[in-house]
Amino acid sequence: MDYDHHRVVVRGQGLSFPELVAVARQGAEVVLAPEVREIVTNSRRAVEKMIEENRVVYGVTTGFGKFSEISISPEEAASLQTNLLVSHACGVGDPLPEDVVRGMLLLRVNSLIQGFSGIRLQTIEALIAMLNLRIHPIVPEKGSLGSSGDLCPLSHLMLPLLGLGEAIYQGERMTGAEALHRAGLQPIELAAKEGLALNNGTQCMTAVGALAVADALELLELAELSASMSLEALNGLIAAFDERIHILRGQKGQVISAKRIRTLTEGSTYLSQPPHARVQDAYALRCTAQVHGASRDAIEYVAQVVEREMNAVTDNPLIFADTDEAISGGNFHGEPIALAMDFLAIALSELANISERRLERMVNPALSNGLPPFLTTQSGLHSGFMIVQYSAAALVSENKVLAHPASVDSIPSSANQEDHVSMGTIAARKARSILENVRQVLAMEMLTAALALDLRGKAKMGVATQQAYLRIRKDVTPMLHDRVISPDIAAVAKMTQDGSLYAIVKSCIEL
């Protein structure tokens, strides 16, 4: 892929997380690679030949799902495709965020241009035009079973292409027809096979999941930073992060996590060195590398699965122009993403679980190694950070509910023709909700650690923890008297999103 944050050239393969983020969140222009044009055209010719020869091809000369036994005449082929999108657009709930919608459009284009879907080049170019002109279809977040792919959300995604449905254009919600008109585009009329090519795939769950993974990879590094600040605030024992311990176990993520924490706290005089009174710390400190490392390994595995799916062909039937065949299969089934998203949800939940336990130790006078109760010097009159721990605990408990796997569920549909489904989109949406909860919990931990370091007394922080502390204090003053804390939490949470804290980690560690 050609990629410079402003322009992404799509070829059907090699699409990466940074490129997806550039298009979805930074508005990068999408350009079709010249070599894919012939590939798409050849695939379309194969479909047209099948129609001319009156072959029985699912979704082209037959109905869909249970209706695959019903023949469709060539004269009705175009109406069949439009009817498919219209009838399948029955989602409910809040609209998906703009970045997810843009991600869906990009991923669908990236799949279609590989030349196995039989779609016309002009239809693909119309999708790219919508993306580049920032016409963002309204796509309700609920309604997908994750097989046959994301039929419902993808149908909503494609409606404005036909001048139907709704879209956001230039910040205003309007009909799809009006959005096209204002952008200078014309609605298209679908040809045979195109409706099925447009709504048969896993691009909703994959877009939600891919953006969640991109965020999770950054949040993982911030979890190491947050843990490092807490370790200093609690005068933790750095010996537990000795490289020799972690190499003996041989778990890659654990070794990396321990190294991160040693690097981020390098030079700190807050950390206890031998000889010391305590033999060992509680698990929330001593086992941070083991827990974070396991989550790191899980998230990196999920990233591999999702990146493969970003570059996958998930249509049905697939058109093999070189052998003049249309083969029905099940690449639309979302099980790979469903399982990966459930794993991501669990891995992220554990980052919040152990974060909340570190936070608890800082506010609990029985566990904090000398810090004042709830980090207030006026106990009773002031509650300090007492309820910050409550809020963190609430989010952690909510995550435990959300982490229940969606992929183990299935419910038959289409008169039992589609009798096993993945629930992959539900899994992806739950993982995204957990990720945002984790972000808030880490913000609470860092905010708590910053105040604990203020109260601990003068000492030298680590190379990265000092920078993180100063970044937090730039926007949030120490809470020496009770005040509304939510704005402080929101301010630090924003730092976990705007890249300012991530930049600190990146400056100290080669990522």
List the Cα angle 177/180/183 in 5-degree steps: 150
Residue of 166, 169, 163 whose CA lies nearest to 182: 169
Local structure of residue 282 (DSSP, 8 states) = -
Quickly tell me which residue has 């241009």 as its tokens. Answer: 113
pLDDT of residue 4: 60
pLDDT at 274 over 80: no
Which amino acid is residue 330, in one-letter code?
Answer: G
Looking at residues 262-267, what average pLDDT do you find?
Answer: 97
d(CA 150, CA 143) in angstroms, rounded, equals 8
- In angstroms, the first-to-last Cα distance of the chain is 21
pLDDT at 281 over 70: yes
* Residue 49 CB partners (closer than 8 Å, separation 6+): 324
User: What pTM value is reported for the model?
Assistant: 0.95
Local structure of residue 152 (DSSP, 8 states) = H
d(CA 35, CA 41) in angstroms, rounded, equals 11
d(CA 33, CA 13) in angstroms, rounded, equals 11
Which amino acid is residue 79, in one-letter code?
Answer: S
pLDDT at 454 over 80: yes
Show me where the domains of the chain are located. Answer: 2-201, 209-314+330-508
pLDDT of residue 511: 64
Local structure of residue 147 (DSSP, 8 states) = S
Which residues partner with 168 through β-bridges? 136, 173
Catalytic residues: 58
Alpha helices, DSSP H, located in 142-282:
151-158, 176-183, 194-199, 203-233, 243-249, 252-264
Which amino acid is residue 367, in one-letter code?
Answer: L
> Does the domain formed by 2-201 have CATH 1.20.1560.10?
no
Looking at residues 329-349, what average pLDDT do you find?
Answer: 97
Which amino acid is residue 419, in one-letter code?
Answer: D
d(CA 224, CA 403) in angstroms, rounded, equals 22
Sign for the CA dihedral angle at 54, 55, 59, 60 comes to: negative
Local structure of residue 2 (DSSP, 8 states) = E
- Confidence tier at 34 by pLDDT (50, 70, 90): very high
d(CA 265, CA 239) in angstroms, rounded, equals 12
pLDDT of residue 149: 87
pLDDT at 169 over 60: yes
pLDDT of residue 158: 98
pLDDT digits (tens, 9 = 90+) for 287-337: 999 999 999 999 999 999 999 999 999 999 999 999 999 999 999 999 999
pLDDT digits (tens, 9 = 90+) for 390-400: 999 999 999 99
pLDDT of residue 183: 98
Largest CA distance in the chain: 86
pLDDT digits (tens, 9 = 90+) for 412-446: 998 888 899 999 999 999 999 999 999 999 999 99
- Confidence tier at 52 by pLDDT (50, 70, 90): confident
Judging by beta carbons within 10 Å of its beta carbon (0-12, 13-18, 19+), is residue 489 exposed, middle or buried? buried
Higher pLDDT, 417 or 91: 91
pLDDT at 3 over 60: no
d(CA 127, CA 105) in angstroms, rounded, equals 7
**What CATH architecture does domain 209-314+330-508 belong to?**
Up-down Bundle (1.20)
d(CA 339, CA 347) in angstroms, rounded, equals 12
Q: Is 296:253 a contact under the CB 8 Å cutoff? A: yes
Residue of 158, 197, 200, 199 whose CA lies nearest to 180: 158
- Confidence tier at 61 by pLDDT (50, 70, 90): confident
pLDDT of residue 1: 45
- Confidence tier at 277 by pLDDT (50, 70, 90): low
pLDDT at 378 over 50: yes
